[in-house]
């Protein structure tokens, strides 16, 4: 039995942790976030109509791989995941929207981070721990947390964070992984978060925009399973627009995304909630194909969507396959 420290408790880090724990290894998970989610986070906001839930990162996920399907079926039985029976459309250059493919789409319940919470059950991740440096060697790694705390020793390290944050942690110990991570570029995304007293009159639940100067996605929580409180709307700015406006304030962005929402839906009532969240590293533009990387001499592995593709399922598969390889 070996001990592993996993940096990052998003879906890839948790998939890796589950595979290692199932093989009998000791796993310690550290995440800088205040709670579970990563890019599958859910923000809760108190309103006079009850708590509003905003899935401000990933909107849904699909399941194609048999191992992922088994995991989703288990989480669905536990009430942590549900099928989103919504209407999904795509707006092209002009005219009426087309229906998007009818592959089943799933969400976490009661918010998107329900799936991450479900995967974390029994693993007891430590939240609010931003790891800043590693020291030591295979068999005796220590982690330094930003607050100054030193954690360890651990036999091996798994780094499950976005590519842009990998090389700072790993380049000094495993230059090959550091270089691979440095070659990756992730695109940003501004997310607008809105709620109104009454639901908006939309003929669909989620729309993808292919030719809009500002919008990428508008998504409503109306028919997402397990949601309570007011209906919420998440508006994702397209990558080019988000890049051009990356350093503007959240208030300015929320105003701009609300205007873009009104262009699509018509005049809007005064919002109950209006805010914006900046995803600096939202989705990888390019990714390496191997699924995961591992430096056996150093006992350091890395997983995440930058190694497998910008989707929830790909990120899970990356962590799952790394965990299986390390267990073997
Ligand atoms: C706006 C947006 C929309 C998306 N839409 C979809 C969609 O509809 N469908 C889909 O399938 N996918 C979608 N995705 C992509 C999907 O969310 C990601 O591919 C997936 O969640 C990545 O998981 P991960 O575990 O690799 O990374 P993350 O979820 O980013 O997890 C990494 C974790 O590492 C932690 N961390 C980072 N640095 C440190 C450190 N130094 N110390 C400790 N912890 C650290 C972070 O807090 C985070 O929790 C979307 C993403 C975004 C942002």
CATH (domain of 248): 3.90.660.10
172, 191: one domain: no
Q: Are 221 and 205 in contact (CB under 8 A)?
A: no
Q: How far is the CA of 208 from the centre of ligand 1 (A)?
A: 20
Average pLDDT over residues 70-92: 96
Tell me, what's the pLDDT at 155? 98
Q: Can you give the pLDDT at residue 67?
A: 96
Q: Render pLDDT for 94-152 as a digit per residue (tens, 0 to 9).
A: 778 999 888 999 999 999 999 999 999 999 999 999 999 999 999 999 999 998 999 99
State whether the beta carbon of 162 lies less than 6 angstroms from ligand 1.
yes
Co-location of 120 and 147 in the same domain? yes
Predicted pLDDT of residue 96 = 82
Find out whether the beta carbon of 63 lies less than 6 Å from any atom of ligand 1. no
Over residues 31-41, mean pLDDT: 94
Distance 118 CA to ligand 1 centre (A): 16
Pairing state between β 3-7 and 26-31: parallel
Rounded Cα gap, residues 218 and 214, in angstroms = 11
Q: Which atom of ligand 1 is nearest to the CA of 14?
A: 25
Report whether the peptide linkage leading into residue 153 is cis, meaning its omega lies within 30 degrees of zero.
yes
Q: Is 190 found in the same domain as 180? A: no
- HSE, side-chain direction, 13 A CA sphere, residue 185: 4
Give the per-residue pLDDT at 328.
Answer: 86
132 and 279 share one domain? no
Determine contact, residues 140/72, Cβ cutoff 8 Å: no
Q: Whose CA is nearest to atom 15 of ligand 1?
A: 311
| Whether residue 87 is found in the same domain as residue 192 | yes
Task: Identify the domain boundary among 268, 285, 302.
Answer: 285
Together in a domain, 191 and 264: yes
Q: Tell me how crowded residue 130 is: count the other CB atoms within 10 A of its CB.
A: 14
88 and 203 both lie in a single domain: yes
Sole residue written with tokens 């579970």 = 36
108, 61: one domain: yes
Number of structural domains (the chain) is 2
Antiparallel, parallel or unpaired: β 292-295 and 273-284: unpaired
pLDDT at 88: 97
- pLDDT (mean) for 16-26: 98
Determine the pLDDT at residue 102.
84
Q: Check pocket membership of 106 for ligand 1, CB cut-off 6 A.
A: no
For residue range 172-231, list pLDDT tens digits in order: 999 999 999 999 999 999 999 999 999 999 999 999 999 999 999 999 999 999 999 999
Gap between the Cα atoms of 73 and 78, Å rounded: 9
Could you tell me the two tokens for 181? 């991570």
Angle, CA 33 vertex, CA 240 and CA 194 arms, to 5° = 50
pLDDT in tens, 238-278: 999 999 999 999 999 999 999 999 999 999 999 999 999 99
Task: State the pLDDT at residue 44.
Answer: 95
- 7: which residues sit within 8 A by CB, 6+ positions away? 13, 30, 31, 131, 143, 157, 158, 159, 160, 161, 169
Q: 214 is in which domain, residue-wise?
A: 42-112+185-285
Question: Same domain, yes or no, for 163 and 272?
Answer: no
Report d(CA 65, CA 318) in Å as an integer. Answer: 12
The DSSP result for 141-173, as a single string, is EEEEETTS-EEEEESEEEE-S-HHHHHHHHTTT
Tell me the average pLDDT of the chain: 95
- Whether residues 215 and 156 fall in one domain: no
> What's the pLDDT at 101?
84
Is there a single domain that holds both residue 240 and residue 266? yes
Q: What pLDDT is stored for residue 309 in this prediction?
A: 93
* Of 323 and 93, more confident: 323
- pLDDT, residue 28, reads 98
- In ligand 1, which atom is closest to the CA atom of 312? 11
Per residue in 275-325, pLDDT tens?
A: 999 999 999 987 667 899 999 999 999 999 999 999 999 999 999 999 999
On whether both 234 and 263 belong to a single domain, the answer is: yes
Q: How would you classify the pairing of strands 215-220 and 232-237?
A: antiparallel
pLDDT of residue 307: 96
Which SS3 state, helix, strand or coil, does residue 236 take?
strand
CATH number for the domain harbouring residue 19: 3.50.50.60
């Amino acid at each position: 039995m070996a001990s592993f420290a996993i940096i990052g408790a998003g879906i890839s880090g948790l998939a890796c942790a589950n595979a290692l724990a199932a093989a009998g290894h000791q796993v310690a998970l550290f995440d800088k976030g205040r709670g579970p989610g990563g890019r599958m986070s859910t923000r809760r906001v108190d309103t006079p109509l009850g708590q509003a839930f905003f899935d401000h990162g990933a909107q849904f996920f699909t399941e194609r791989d048999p191992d992922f399907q088994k995991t989703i079926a288990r989480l669905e039985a536990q009430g942590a995941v549900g099928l989103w029976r919504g209407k999904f459309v795509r707006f092209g250059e002009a005219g009426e929207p087309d229906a998007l493919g009818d592959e089943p789409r799933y969400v976490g319940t009661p918010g998107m981070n329900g799936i991450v919470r479900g995967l974390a059950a029994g693993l007891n991740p430590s939240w609010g721990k931003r790891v800043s440096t590693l020291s030591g060697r295979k068999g005796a790694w220590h982690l330094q947390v930003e607050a100054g705390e030193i954690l360890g020793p651990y036999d091996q390290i798994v780094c499950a964070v976005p590519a842009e944050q990998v090389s700072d942690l790993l380049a000094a110990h495993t230059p090959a992984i550091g270089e691979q991570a440095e070659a990756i570029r992730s695109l940003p995304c501004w997310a607008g978060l809105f709620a109104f007293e009454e639901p908006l009159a939309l003929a669909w639940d989620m729309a993808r925009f292919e030719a809009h100067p500002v919008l990428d996605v508008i998504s409503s929580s109306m028919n997402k399973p397990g949601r309570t409180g007011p209906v919420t709307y998440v508006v994702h700015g397209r990558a080019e627009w988000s890049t051009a406006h990356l350093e503007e304030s959240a208030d300015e962005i929320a105003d701009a995304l609300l205007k873009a929402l009104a262009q699509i839906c018509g005049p809007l009532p005064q919002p109950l909630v209006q805010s914006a969240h900046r995803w600096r590293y939202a989705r990888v533009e390019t990714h390496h194909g191997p699924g995961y990387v591992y430096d056996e001499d150093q006992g350091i592995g890395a997983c995440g969507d930058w190694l497998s593709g910008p989707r929830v399922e790909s990120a899970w598969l990356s962590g799952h396959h790394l965990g299986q390889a390390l267990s073997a």
